[in-house]
Amino acid sequence: MNRRMRKTSVKNLLVFPALSLVVATGCAPIDSSSSTSVGDTSSTVEGNSDASGDQQNSTDTTIAPKGSSASGSSNVDANGAQVPDTTTGTRGNTPPPESQSSTGVFALSVLERIVQDKEVGNGYSRDLFRHWSDADGDQCNTREEVLIAESLSRAQVDAFGCKVIAGDWFSPFDGLSHTDPSDLDIDHLVPLKEAWDSGAHAWSSSKRERFANDLSDGRVLIAVTSGVNRSKGDRDPSQWLPPRGAYTCTYVSDWIAVKFQWGLSMDSSEWGRLKNLLNGQCAGTTIAAWETSSTPEPPQAPSSPAPAEEKDENPTDAPALPTIRPGAFCTPEGGLGTYSERVYVCAKTRTTGEPYGDGRARWRQQ
């Protein structure tokens, strides 16, 4: 944390005929602090690896400069001790902890609405979740879509078959940077087996496929270092947390958001561990607004039928955002665009606040 010092000026020097009196005041510190929130996915080990190099599935990433080996930044207090990052939500979204407005709700209040239940514990097969499909028919499967969306620079894609061959990625689990996509797994933040045990066993096959390929919310799927992802496996937060401590509160909040959004339950140890974290080091952590129709505060049903809504012949809704290519140079600074149903901003700085080396604005996730 930075400390600012306010120095008061030396006061008047009074001189008397026989005596000089100097009255001076010293430096008085003023308490203030600033925090740096660190933003901000192949799959985790739950079984055999995919042909693409993915392992089993188990989503705010910030991207480090190309070629760097960043260990990730974190918040520190005046004594140099690490302070957990409590800003979270969709990638780059950082609602203030005190807010319960449309920008976010307290993660603890959402957790308290999640049902506690025993896990099923049997019947799971990865084949029950059809994954890495091409929902929009653009020849890019879900894995490639995530790699393209999360690359800081414009990802290099093989023209034949939409295969990402290079880019710049930052793994929030361990703070490492990568340029080779084969070093990355696309992690299901809530692993497929965990989802099965927590309620997905009762879903239709089409709903399980939607969950396994959900690109509508950046919290569900994230690109991370394959090794650390495979160490996670199918474990929940009571058994595993990311080794990068500054990411703990974001991970906790995103886990809660995904579970709530998809109507998944928690076992008592999982629920209790999350509550302890939110009452301790992650106190005040918020969840940003959902990008899909599921929200933490669904509207109440009306007591009487509502009248049919008349169609507005002159709608005043804001125009749809333009479709962009992540990492491409852009203007004007501050403009918004979309790609794969995610919102991007035209900015000259990374989500960490670090300016790009060339000083030019480019599309990055908010």
The verdict on residue 49 lying in a domain is yes
The verdict on residue 208 lying in a domain is yes
pLDDT digits (tens, 9 = 90+) for 137-174: 888 999 999 999 999 999 999 988 899 999 999 999 99
Scan for tokens 């995610």, then name that residue: 342
Closest CA to 181 of 328, 350, 56, 42: 42
The verdict on residue 126 lying in a domain is yes
The verdict on residue 134 lying in a domain is yes
Report d(CA 350, CA 361) in Å as an integer. 10
The verdict on residue 357 lying in a domain is no
The verdict on residue 324 lying in a domain is no
pLDDT digits (tens, 9 = 90+) for 192-212: 999 999 999 999 999 999 999
**Do you find a cis peptide bond into 332, omega within 30 degrees of 0?**
yes
pLDDT at 81: 43
Tokens of 22: 């100097």
Backbone angles phi, psi at 363, to 5 degrees: -75, 125
pLDDT band at 80 (very low <50, low <70, confident <90, very high): very low
pLDDT above 90: percentage of residues in the chain:
47
Per the DSSP assignment, residues forming a β-bridge with 76 are 82
Host domain of residue 167: 36-296
pLDDT band at 359 (very low <50, low <70, confident <90, very high): confident
The verdict on residue 28 lying in a domain is no
pLDDT digits (tens, 9 = 90+) for 175-188: 999 999 999 999 99
What's the number of domains the chain is made of? 1
The verdict on residue 106 lying in a domain is yes
Closest CA to 164 of 221, 214, 223: 223
